[in-house]
Structures are given as C-alpha cells and as structure tokens.
Amino acid sequence: MEQMSTELDAVVTTLSALAVTYGMAVLGAIAILIGGWLVAGWAERGVSRALGRLSSIDPTLRPFIASIIRYAIIILTVVIVLGQFGVQTASIIAILGAAGLAIGLALQGTLSNVAAGIMLLFLRPFRVGDFIDAGGRAGSVIHVSLFTTELKMADGVYMSLPNSQVWGQAITNYSRNPVRRMDVVVGIAYDDDIDAALTALKAMADADDRVLKDPAAQTMVTNLGESSVDITLRIWATLGDYWNLRWDMIKGAKLTVEAAGCSIPFPQRDLHLVDTKQIAVKVIDDPKMAG
C-alpha cells in the first residue's frame, strides 16, 4: 500500500513539473502569437500610410508591399513560437518546405492567382483608378492584391476577379494614354453633295475647343453602303472630354449635314416584281421547253 502511494506521489510530482514547464511554454506561445498578429496588423497599416505619403510609389504597389511585411512578421512569429518548444531551425525549415510543397500541390489554382498578381503588380499594365477591359469585363480598378483584382463597373457594380483570369486575357487600358481618337460616322444620300457634307463636318469640329488641333480633325468618305454614302469625322480629345464630346459630336453631325442640305437616308432596297403568269406562258409557248 505504501509502495502504491509512493508511486502515485511520483506520478503527481512528474505531472506537476510537466504542467509547470509546458504550461508556461504554451501560455508564452499564445502571448507571442497574439502579439505577433497585432504587430503584423500595425506594421501593415503603418507601411501603407508611409508609402501613401511618397508620390514616387505607385498606388497599386502600396497594398502589395504592406501585405508582404504583414506576412513576413506572421511567419517570423510562428518560427519564434516553435522555438519555444525546442524545435530546431533546420527542422522548422524542413517542415515549412514540406508544408509549402503540400500546400502548393493542393492549391495550384490559388498559387496561379498569386503568380499572376505578382506579374500584374510589377509589370503594371494598369494602375488603381484606370478604366480597363480584361477578358470582356470592363471597369475602373479599385484594388489589386495577391489573389484578386477589384473593379467598379460602369454602372457602379462591384466585381472581384481572380488575378489569373485578368493576367491570362488581353488587357485594354483606356486610361493609359492621355488622348483618344474618336470616329463619328454619318450616312448621306447618294444624290447629296458630298463635299458640302465634308466641309460642314470639318467646320463643326474646328469650332469646338475640346477637339485637339494636333492631330487635326479629318473628314473622309469611308464606305459606299447599300443605302448611303458613309462619311467619317475623325477627331482627337483628352480623356476628360472624350465622352461628353462624343455625345455632342453625334448629335451635331446629324444637325450639321442636314443644315448643309444633305439627308440621312433610311436603309432601303429596290425590289423588282416579275409577273409569274407571263413567265409561265413563255415557257409553254417555247417549243424546246414543250418538247
């Protein structure tokens, strides 16, 4: 009986020692994890604010750099926590390598988004605020992260696209160049005065201050359609004036060609009706057909 009591006391003593030793280690690890998480968040926000005050840093790169700082601090925190339990650095590197390989195989699609995000952020085919079209999805860029590209559509709808879909498509950036060309096409009747229409449209464009003088406005006949002679007014404008000018030019083109004595014809076709009865009589009277 005394021997059993002695063994029980030894077990309790051992468990108490283990609880004190590893309990403090666990509490310390939890404290380090919480502290590292908070520090990572503060560092991310601080770096983002600091980069925001630097005009030389592109706005698209700011969240990316801040995110790298945050993840670096979190990884360092995890390494320190593992060190609390006596794990060697070599073992940590081996574990991270194996985990990275396993995660990479399991998350191939996600990693492709990360790779595409890095390419977008460093090659910068567009920046925050640019209006782009990527694979048929057009909108203003709100934010670019490692995984997604966020757009605000023309009608105000929010859209989040995986980076792999954006990078894997042809990207049209409507905001990269400061000026854009505009083609306004108007059709006139075949019997109208073409030179009068060309001169009137050119004068209309030259009279608008929003139309750039260099390159100069051009007017030309671009197509002979089924119902009309198509005349194109080609002008250049800055991005800020483009859409309002385009709407005004379309309206003005109609009024201008009409004021010049031209008309805008409706689509029409000439139909020639044949008397089927006469055709039948001719066929019957033809001796060759009758034979």
Q: pLDDT of the chain along its 291 residues, tens only?
A: 555 556 555 655 665 555 555 666 667 777 777 888 888 888 888 877 887 777 656 666 677 777 778 888 887 887 777 766 666 656 666 666 766 666 655 555 677 887 888 888 788 899 889 999 987 889 999 988 878 899 999 899 999 998 888 988 899 999 999 999 999 999 999 999 999 999 999 999 999 999 999 999 999 999 998 889 999 999 999 999 999 999 999 999 999 999 999 998 887 777 777 766 665 555 555 555 554
Structural domain boundaries, residue 90: 2-106
Provide the number of structural domains found in the chain. 3
Q: What is the pLDDT of residue 93?
A: 65
Does residue 32 lie within any of the structural domains?
yes
Please report the pLDDT score of residue 186 as a whole number.
Answer: 95
CA distances from 253 to 34, 87, 155, 216, 244 (A): 67, 78, 27, 17, 14
Written as one string, the DSSP assignment of 75-101 is: HHHHHHHHHHTT--HHHHHHHHHHHHH
Question: Does residue 112 fall inside a structural domain?
Answer: no
Distance CA 39, CA 93 (A): 23
> What is residue 111's predicted lDDT score, i.e. its pLDDT?
73
Position 227 in a domain: yes
Q: Which pLDDT score, from 0 to 100, does residue 48 have?
A: 78
**CATH number of the domain where residue 231 is located:** 3.30.70.100
Integer Cα distance of 224 and 202 in angstroms: 20
Q: Are residues 169 and 228 in the same domain?
A: no
Domain CATH number, residue 135: 2.30.30.60
H or E segment at 221?
Answer: strand 218-224
120 lies in a domain? no
Picking from 179, 183, 173, 165, the residue whose alpha carbon sits closest to that of residue 242 is 179
Confidence at residue 105, expressed as pLDDT on a 0 to 100 scale: 55
Same domain, 98 and 14: yes
Token digits of residue 244: 């309002």
pLDDT of residue 185: 95
CA 116 to chain centre: 12
136 and 73 in a common domain? no
For residue 75, what pLDDT is reported?
Answer: 79
- Please indicate, yes or no, whether residues 77 and 134 belong to a single structural domain of this protein: no
State the amino acid at position 205 in one-letter form: A
CA–CA separation, 85 vs 102, rounded Å?
24
Look at residues 203, 186, 183 and name the one whose alpha carbon lies nearest to residue 262.
186
Coil/strand/helix, residue 182: strand
Tokens of 23: 């309990």
CATH number at residue 75: 1.10.287.1260
**Residue 166 located in a structural domain:** yes
248: nearest Cα among 156, 182, 180: 182
Q: Distance between CA atoms of 184 and 233, rounded to whole angstroms? A: 5
For residue 111, CA distances in Å to 101, 115, 164, 170 come to 11, 6, 9, 21
| Residue 216 DSSP class | P
